[in-house]
Amino acid sequence: MSEKDKNDRKEFSEETIDQAWKRSKGRCECQRKTHGHEGQCNKKLVYSNRGRDNDDYWEAHHRNGDETNNNLDHCLIFCWGCHKQTIAEDAEKNKSPKK
Ligand SMILES: [Zn+2]
Ligand SMILES: [Zn+2]
């Protein structure tokens, strides 16, 4: 992994996201205990709302925040609330400015 690659924001391929969505059955796959949901969040999501700014918004999230790994098993379907909270928590943990 070169320095240049690190600076490129990696994204999942559409195919990977599609497969992850099918795996999730349209439910949030977040399992963080700090979010207040027991076990898996399971919030019902709408496929066409991906990336939109509303209540049913969802996004593909990198497991462990590892943006260099775009394999299907690192692609998690997260609802907007979990996605936002996870990013905030990871940022707090790492305390490294990302931009
Ligand atoms: Zn969720
Ligand atoms: Zn959550």
- Calculate how far, in angstroms, residue 35's C-alpha sits from the geometric centre of ligand 2: 5
The rounded Å distance from CA 31 to ligand 2 centre is 6
Residue 12 corresponds to which tokens in the numbers above?
């999942």
pLDDT tens-place string over residues 80-96 = 999 999 999 988 887 76
Alpha carbon distance 23, 18 (integer Å): 9
Residues contacting 25, CB < 8 A, separation 6+ = none
**Backbone phi and psi for residue 44, each to the nearest 5 degrees, phi listed first:** -75, 135
For residue range 26-66, list pLDDT tens digits in order.
999 999 999 999 999 999 999 999 988 777 899 999 998 88
Listed in sequence order, the residues at least 6 apart from 18 whose beta carbon sits closer than 8 Å to its beta carbon are: none
